[in-house]
Amino acid sequence: VIPDFGVLSGLFQIANLDYRGEYSAEVTFDISLESAGALAFAAL
């Protein structure tokens, strides 16, 4: 879902996944996706 825009659907693969944080604290993560096939877009 792309807020206030639309929805992308299709097959994706994880290209990169990074976790960061401190012991007993918040954890943040970043994820990068790559298209693994045809994509479809539906406007909201």
**pLDDT per residue as tens digits for the range 1-22:** 677 889 989 999 999 999 999 8
Which residues have a Cβ under 8 Å from the Cβ of 3 and sit 6 or more positions away? Answer: none
Please indicate, yes or no, if residue 36 is contained in any of the structural domains.
yes
- Start-to-end CA span in the chain (Å): 9
Range of the domain at 26: 6-43
pTM of the predicted structure, to 2 decimals: 0.57
Total structural domains within the chain: 1
- Tell me the pLDDT of the chain averaged across its residues: 90
Please indicate, yes or no, if residue 1 is contained in any of the structural domains.
no
2 close to 43: Cβ distance less than 8 angstroms: no
Please indicate, yes or no, if residue 14 is contained in any of the structural domains.
yes
